[in-house]
Structure 1
């Protein structure tokens, strides 16, 4: 039997007058019967960046960012406290696995808390007994409210302070227009930006388009930056009207990036292939010339060999195949009479 349950703790914080929304997230995951996965894992993230990780197999917290080293030097009990909380959660979740198996036939959801009313919400009927039990524990709920509304917010501010060079940096996006084929949508692709709160949209005649567009989700890059694409369908739009369109990328702290829908700016697969045409043609010409030279060489060799046979002295051996081409005879001298 296998079971997997998880708990997400999420706190948002509006960072003063900058109106930038920051988040602190904790993911707790417990499992049973999975040989390749720890029975308990806890992950802490600030603005989507992982800063701590607890592995139930080694039973300790691992720092995932360099700036967390400085935080733990200023707060020496941080790791000990984090380890203690995670180990306690590991034991609690291990017990919860059995309850989950019974109520959800090995899988399901757990209640989540509404801190404003100090009550718990049961997303499915199997979680209702837990909701009732937790609702009756007023002291525990007050502690949870204080944790979510005060302690988590305070720690989020600390994380933002220590990780400001990483978490509060701004990296400008690189914007490209892409198209796979003449009939494909034109893609406005922005990549390499940070943070991930970017807005990318298409405009026509200065007005944002809500039709003809297919926005994609923001995805992470391997270097910690992000990328996103927004498709524009132009099947019903004649190319002479393309000048009415533009892609706009907005990221807080930088000037809007506007890219007009200009065919000269679009990177396409077929252009990439035609761009390789000249080198390919040159390569083919070189090969053809080499082949032609080889053919000419063979013909000249055969012609010369035939001439040699016609002028070869009487009695010479002309039938040996084993020596042909291996020990070429010196150039034949004209026959003389004496």
Structure 2
């Protein structure tokens, strides 16, 4: 019962399935970042944020703010629940660290739990997992109400937790009953946000004069769109590299399509254009292949370049903690794309930008208030 009270609101799709996912992160050994972070995702979009330096949960979207304004005392209590659960999770993290026999240095423990609810079949499926330094260690089995250990070090904790039947029964009820009810509640507030239509900004990018030209669109919603290169109005299929639709932390999406210039004669540039179109929409965004419009490494850097890379060092450990759920994300449908949040627009033209810096850049470039790398 105590655990239920503590966790009640320390939380953070497709047209049919709706998801709520809650992330807790404990890190040690880094003085410049919070040692506890709690993140809530609703419909794979950042909903709320909380860390050990705060007293109240922070909303990440206007619809969440309206939800909080409707019952401020309720949210105040849930913020306290998050603060209390911080100690519960720290105790679990210390136990994992002892069992790992790690004697020093930085260690990171991640916890993810939540549910997916199908609004047609009314069926719900829940999950709860732990990872230590990026490796899976424990997973809750809803059917048997027991824990599955991923390595020998986790066996000790598994046997301890298997014996706590009351806590395991609570988790099964929470994940299969209470969590889906939260999803339904949030859907009523988030409806306008989820059903909006946003057009993207489109840019032409090029790493070097010999590199392909990328037509990059970012900020569009929903995640159903067509993007292609044309020549004389005809779709191109050769010398074209089609990228995936990837999520931005603010709930919008980005995509790109590359054109190899080796087959394009200089005098023929005017015959090429890039087309973006949202699924079901009549309007198209057409961008002509124009050398004057291409952003390259030799061009003037954007104003956000300096703050982007200053923030990289401060957020490095939290980035690692998020990447630590790679294994889990690859197991779950729809979640694999969340690990590819590098800003193609700002990082692809920077030769010294590694993968870690890219993930940092997209989060810091797109919102100054973001405090964690994700997958917001």
TM-score by length of 1: 0.57
Question: Cα distance, 1:250 vs. partner?
Answer: 5.6
User: In structure 1, how many angstroms separate the alpha carbons of the residues matched to 2:54 and 2:290?
Assistant: 56
1:47 to 30, 43, 47: 43
Query: What residue is the counterpart of 1:165 in the other structure?
Result: 192
Instruction: Say whether the 8 Å CA contact 1:175–1:190 is kept in structure 2.
Output: yes
Query: What residue is the counterpart of 2:20 in the other structure?
Result: 24
1:229-244 equivalence runs, <5 A: 229-235=256-262
**C-alpha distance after superposition, 1:92-148 (max 9, x if no partner):** 122123223222316324413343554433333322322333344444333323322
Query: What residue is the counterpart of 2:111 in the other structure?
Result: none
C-alpha spacing 1:201/1:226, structure 2 compared with 1 (3 Å): closer
CA RMSD of aligned residues (A): 4.4
Query: What residue is the counterpart of 2:315 in the other structure?
Result: none
1:218 to 227, 231, 246: 246
| Pair 1:78-2:74 in alignment | yes
2:99 to 97, 103, 122: 103
Instruction: Say whether the 8 Å CA contact 1:212–1:234 is kept in structure 2.
Output: no
Question: Could you say what secondary structure the match of 1:235 adopts?
Answer: helix
* Unmatched 5+ stretches in structure 2: 1-8, 108-131, 300-376
User: In structure 2, how many angstroms separate the alpha carbons of the residues matched to 1:76 and 1:268?
Assistant: 49
1:251-330 equivalence runs, <5 A: 251-252=278-279, 254-255=281-282, 257=284, 263=289, 267-268=293-294
Question: Could you say what secondary structure the match of 2:198 adopts?
Answer: coil
Query: What residue is the counterpart of 1:122 in the other structure?
Result: 149
Question: Could you say what secondary structure the match of 2:262 adopts?
Answer: coil
**C-alpha distance after superposition, 1:71-95 (max 9, x if no partner):** 2354455324423431332111221
Query: What residue is the counterpart of 1:134 in the other structure?
Result: 161
Question: Could you say what secondary structure the match of 2:19 adopts?
Answer: strand
C-alpha spacing 1:22/1:120, structure 2 compared with 1 (3 Å): same
Instruction: Say whether the 8 Å CA contact 2:12–2:46 is kept in structure 1.
Output: no
Name the count of aligned residue pairs: 256
C-alpha spacing 1:236/1:20, structure 2 compared with 1 (3 Å): farther
1:57-68 equivalence runs, <5 A: 57-68=53-64
User: In structure 2, how many angstroms separate the alpha carbons of the residues matched to 1:257 and 1:124?
Assistant: 52
**C-alpha distance after superposition, 1:37-94 (max 9, x if no partner):** 3332212232344333333234443344443343235445532442343133211122
Question: Cα distance, 1:161 vs. partner?
Answer: 1.9
More RCO (CA 8 Å, sep 6+): 2
Query: What residue is the counterpart of 2:338 in the other structure?
Result: none
**C-alpha distance after superposition, 1:143-193 (max 9, x if no partner):** 323322332222123223223333432202244555566632131211231
Instruction: Say whether the 8 Å CA contact 1:103–1:126 is kept in structure 2.
Output: yes
Instruction: Say whether the 8 Å CA contact 1:13–1:153 is kept in structure 2.
Output: no
Question: Could you say what secondary structure the match of 1:35 adopts?
Answer: coil
User: In structure 2, how many angstroms separate the alpha carbons of the residues matched to 1:249 and 1:202?
Assistant: 7
* Unmatched 5+ stretches in structure 1: 1-8, 274-338
